[in-house]
Amino acid sequence: MALTRDDLFASPDHYLHSFEGNTAVFMPMDRTSYHRSIFLDGRISPAANGAMRVPVSALEAAPRQPAATGWIFHVAHCGSTLLARALDHLDSNLVLREPLALRQTAIARAPGEIAADRLALVSAMLSKRYRVDTPTIVKANVPVNFLLPALATLDPNAPAIFLYLPLHDYLLAILRSDNHREWLRRVTTLLAPWLGDMERWSDAERVAALWLGQIRAFAAGLETMASARSLNAEVFFAEPAVTLATAATVLRVPLSPECVERTISGALFSTYSKNPAIAFDNSERLARRATLKTILADEIAQAQRWIEPRGAQTGAALAALEARRLVG
């Protein structure tokens, strides 16, 4: 039987993966393939071969109201994949990690502008569920942070967590390798319409500007999203059990205390969340961080000098996050 437009809007088995011009690309999925797909961009692990392409105009012509959706917004390289995977259990909420179509929607615009029809389409597609009693949880990525005003307008009561690091810790997370620095340069170039042209800036200055832009976006999001909470990633790493249990409550994920304990003591928290083949835990992260403090001391000082004249903006944003803490 041929799929109908209603089928595409009804079942998560038909996943809106991305846009190619005026065409929407759907991938075949099931609950297991979502669970094993650590990311839903080019690294997706679909249920079967064969993408389906549908004219975007045919979908936008039949808008659907998104179901209630939970969100994890984050500043990158701060444990968001670990948190999202810890909340992802096959008998529970569907968890979508970094959907590409949402990222494309975030960057296909200028500051202050939004293609309302496209965002409505993507939001409706992402909100599809396997269990009607639990909201789908979406872990966004950095460009989506600058789409927050529009997302908050769609559902001001959406449960959400804003995951971040203090600037010092963020510098250690972002400047720790050549690959991370390359990511930094790519994303800050991409976000130049929001952050400014950084072509001649140092890596340390880019990190500081990216951090401040996202912290300010989170503070503004907390003003309009009544059910949102902030989470310092260092608190999550230090107190994973209480953080996971509280995050599950906020995001309406039914995790029992026994499930939380099994998750914290299992393989997920003793391997690298983006690559389970690599052994890694918080003690190794802390040891790496201690070494980097000395190696990156000059760049940390440079970033702090960049932030100093913007102290009022920084203080106000951090105060807003502190006032709405998830835990800690």
Q: Is the pLDDT of residue 111 over 90?
A: no
pLDDT score, position 1: 59
Q: Is the pLDDT of residue 242 over 90?
A: yes
Cα separation, 123 vs 141, in Å, equals: 15
Contact 94, 129 (CB under 8 A): yes
Nearest partner of 324 among 215, 227, 212, 214, judged by Cα = 227
Domains of the chain: 63-323 (3.40.50)
**What are phi and psi for residue 81, nearest 5 degrees?**
-65, -40
The pLDDT tens digits for 150-187 are 999 999 999 999 999 999 999 999 999 999 999 999 99
Percent of all residues in the chain with a pLDDT value above 70, rounded to a whole number: 100
Cα separation, 257 vs 238, in Å, equals: 18
Cα separation, 160 vs 173, in Å, equals: 23
Q: Say which amino acid occupies 108.
A: A
- Residues present in the chain in total: 328
Contact 230, 241 (CB under 8 A): no
Contacts 24+ apart (CB under 8 A), 280-289: 282/237, 282/238, 282/240, 285/237, 288/176, 289/169, 289/172
DSSP state of 144: G
Cα separation, 70 vs 85, in Å, equals: 14
Percent of all residues in the chain with a pLDDT value above 90, rounded to a whole number: 95
Model-wide pTM > 0.85: yes
The pLDDT tens digits for 209-232 are 999 999 999 999 999 999 999 999
The pLDDT tens digits for 187-198 are 999 999 999 999
Nearest partner of 260 among 286, 288, 241, judged by Cα = 241
CA 267 from chain center: how many Å?
Answer: 22
End-to-end CA distance of the chain: 53
CA 277 from chain center: how many Å?
Answer: 22
Please compute the mean of the pLDDT values over residues 110-134 and round it to a whole number.
92
Cα separation, 298 vs 125, in Å, equals: 46
Please compute the mean of the pLDDT values over residues 6-11 and round it to a whole number.
96
